[in-house]
Structure 1
């Protein structure tokens, strides 16, 4: 966010677009990558309409302050394709054109590079990536699918590892809590580590996976998990008083109260 605040006024004169950029930066990682709040979330943060937010995101992308990032990050957290927001990366070079420069003309203003006689020594364009037709016939559809699944799995893992500890995300089926964050929350709640059983953990994830609009940080999800476990222990003991009910009241789990009647 400090990067967005430090942008000179001549780089971004539109105050609404600057507001959207500041809020978007709040969801990005420390390297400026992986911000994927929905348009409705940004609308709530900025007070603008969703349509205006989308227009301003387009404007920010056109001037080179943001660009579309690794969309696999959103896919890790949100299963439904039609509900995934666009993942953006902040261009921390302060508005520089994110498109890579070609080698031609990169060394001087004459359009010639430093290679001898201006001749590029690389192999023919595309030669290295050309497939061998005889080998392609030997690869079965099953092998191709397995390779594709492996590639997707690697992308998802990379997306998970790239998440900043402070970055908020929706719950997803393969989420595992940070050991330190969970241990801290259990200590605060005075609960032993074995309180988080596989059954409670599965119920917790299953409930919030069905609520993709709910987002939180890694530590925030650990807090919610311990809160869930503590409430379930009280319910199982059958000793929940009115005060206890107020303590564990959570808009995300109101349906549990009705289910117990």
Structure 2
């Protein structure tokens, strides 16, 4: 933060942008990296609107005082990617001002003996922000785990309440499907791999149809019930069993 306070006026004349930079620095590590407060947080800190905050952040990027950092840091603490703020690194070396030197008495030559800035490269007090509560080694491990989790979530929903379009790798929950088959009055062994494959094949193409994991189990049980009913009542229909429109059945 001392770097932002001592930044020469000619480097950044916009007072609002200086205020945003000062607040952003409060969330960065000792080397200026890994600051990711949300726009709402910066709004609360500065009193500026979120629109103004975003404009000033763009300005700080344009003049080279901040750059976009490792975005995976925010993913360690925030699961939902659509709610993760941008991670910024402060370019501390740019425009840095050396602190006043002390004389033999140990006092600074600054006014009233106060030293307003630290020596360039000097150690600073640890940042208490949530950004840096973990060691670098722990953060790297957390980041690796987050990346692996994101890959896993690409193939399956985050929880039973999340709605999603059907995909080829979908595996229905055994318990949820068993419950739906019981409700429909169907035997447990009627949900064969071939039946499930035809069900998925039909809905994979219908990307506009979304449902939760439990909802898809409900649809699958209904599909199986109609499939069995059609198989029992129609033996002369040459259309594929999944072709519901040709059989006059609506899903």
TM-score by length of 2: 0.40
Larger Rg: 2
